[in-house]
Structure 1
Amino acid sequence: MLGMNDVTQQQSTRCDACTVRHRAVCGALSQKEIERLNAIARHRTVPQGQAIVGDQDRVLSFANIISGVVKLTKTLCDGRQQIVGLQFASDFIGRPFRDRSAYEATAVNDVHLCIYDRRQFEHLVREFPGFERRLFENTLDELDAARDWMLLLGRKSAEEKVASFILMVSKKMDGVSRQGGDGRPAKFELPITRTEIADFLGLTIETVSRQVSRLKSEKIIALEGLRTVAVLDVPRLEQASSG
């Protein structure tokens, strides 16, 4: 994970000003507990394309994502890499009480992190029962999401896979719900390229492009350039994602 020097060189931040606090793992803490957590928290911005933690690296710290998108990849024994997940604002990077990272985490764009030293963080987890419960719930949520993704990869059609991906990103991207709350289409930029989307979904890039064009022609989504998507019809996108 991020090295100790990376953590100690950063300025501290105030948890009460955090935009994702109530959605993050620290959302279950009392004000007094938040102050204890704030005392060990540091900010860092990781530039686009930079690794946050390597596959099987020793874990030195954990982090909440404040803004930006993180790509999780797994390296196979022959050197090939597979995208196994995306993380967004309020998601938690790292596994407490585990010595090594299970994946490589890379900043897809500039990522703002709130970082905690591993030993200090694990001490607080043991001390605060609500904190431990929230981390456990977070792990179960990720397990449910992984099972849903197994269903997507194993049983869904290409049309359903691409629609599911766009729907997932539209719900996860920071600020999307607010943009679509006033009657305007929710608009966001796809965090990864179409080649990476194809890799993530187990499809070819031609198939991904064809399915995106179909959603556009049916006026379920609109496109601005190659990466910016506006969801015009959420119910129909949900229907397309589930067949």
Structure 2
Amino acid sequence: MTSCQQCVVRNRAICSSLDTSELEVLNKIGRRVPVHRGQTLMWEGDDSLLVANVIDGVLKLSTSTADGREQIVGVVYPSDFIGRPFGSTTHHSVTALCDAQVCLFTRSSFDDFARTHPELEHKLLQRTLTELDRARHWMLLLGRKSAGERVATFLLEMAQRLADASCSGSDLVERFELPLTRQQMADLLGLTIETVSRQLTRLRQAGIIDLPDRRTVVILDHDAMEAEAGNG
């Protein structure tokens, strides 16, 4: 059995459109690689040499401002695709927020494979459109939502994406570990760390979430969280 057939994200990753013989070919050009917490897999501005499927763990996408400050612009989860196929330059740095595992391809070999497999190119297009929708949603969050709505929206999205990654069949996980520090959450949401801490404390005091420790979040009242996120 190939590592593709054993892959836990096989049915949700972009390669889900491929048959057994095609997977055997893909398996020969890819390799599983561990990425340790804090390790950067791709660097912004470098030549686009690698692409990858996320198998396990959570990674951040970040870019640097003119004065050298880091801005987190996205988070990727298991079954997400990272890198720039058919492109020459990497637009974001990709760094593991926790120990992770990816299925890594050289961009040139992946591009050659994708050109001869229209189903895979179609999946790439679908993923691109999904990412565009998420980017537009994030523009709404940053431009129009209050601090409380931003924090609640972020926690709900993480619970939903982690549920998708776990194949549990549930719409969201009720308990999860935050892969980001509160400072990283603040950077991602366009807030200060003090504001993020206040909003988390407010949600806990309202009985909507529990915070057993600094990293663990337990969603106690899903409907109330949806209302806090401005989705009600």
**TM-score of the pair, normalised by structure 1:** 0.89
Which residue matches 2:45? Answer: 56
Coordinate RMSD, CA, aligned:
1.9
Aligned counterparts of 2:59 and 2:80: Cα–Cα separation in 1: 9
Shift of 1:215: 1.2
Does residue 168 of structure 2 align to residue 178 of structure 1? yes
Aligned counterparts of 1:239 and 1:177: Cα–Cα separation in 2: 26
Shift of 1:52: 0.5
Residue deviations 1:176-227 (CA, integer Å, cap 9, x gap): 673968xx97211111011111111111111111111111122211111111
Q: Structure 1 stretch 166-175 or stretch 113-122: which is displaced more?
A: 166-175
Q: Is the 8 A contact 2:160 2:173 kept in 1?
A: no
Which residue matches 1:139? Answer: 128
Does residue 21 of structure 2 align to residue 35 of structure 1? no
Aligned counterparts of 1:18 and 1:177: Cα–Cα separation in 2: 13
Residue deviations 1:39-76 (CA, integer Å, cap 9, x gap): 21201101110111111111222110100111111111
Q: Which amino acid is 2:168 matched to?
A: R
> What stretches of structure 1 of length at least 5 have no aligned partner?
1-11
Q: Is the 8 A contact 2:159 2:173 kept in 1?
A: no
Identical-residue share of aligned pairs (%): 45
Q: 1:224 aligns to what SS in structure 2? A: coil
Which residue matches 1:199? Answer: 187
Which residue matches 2:210? Answer: 222
Shift of 1:13: 5.5
Shift of 1:32: 2.1
Cα 1:186/1:179, change in 2 over 3 Å: farther
Does residue 99 of structure 2 align to residue 110 of structure 1? yes
Does residue 227 of structure 2 align to residue 242 of structure 1? no
Aligned counterpart in structure 2 of residue 66 of structure 1, from 47, 55, 61 = 55
Aligned residue pairs: how many? 230
Which residue matches 1:4? Answer: none
Q: Is the 8 A contact 1:60 1:118 kept in 2?
A: yes
Which residue matches 2:78? Answer: 89
Which residue matches 2:199? Answer: 211
Which residue matches 2:140? Answer: 151
Aligned counterparts of 1:130 and 1:91: Cα–Cα separation in 2: 17
Aligned counterpart in structure 2 of residue 80 of structure 1, from 63, 69, 81 = 69
Q: 1:242 aligns to what SS in structure 2? A: coil
Q: Which amino acid is 1:58 matched to?
A: D
Aligned counterpart in structure 2 of residue 15 of structure 1, from 4, 8, 16 = 4
Q: Which amino acid is 2:65 matched to?
A: L
Cα 1:154/1:114, change in 2 over 3 Å: same
Aligned counterparts of 2:167 and 2:22: Cα–Cα separation in 1: 29
Q: 1:33 aligns to what SS in structure 2? A: helix
Q: 2:67 aligns to what SS in structure 1? A: coil
Aligned counterparts of 2:173 and 2:74: Cα–Cα separation in 1: 26
Q: Is the 8 A contact 1:65 1:91 kept in 2?
A: yes
Aligned counterparts of 2:190 and 2:49: Cα–Cα separation in 1: 33
> What stretches of structure 2 of length at least 5 have no aligned partner?
none
Q: Is the 8 A contact 2:58 2:179 kept in 1?
A: yes
Shift of 1:231: 1.2
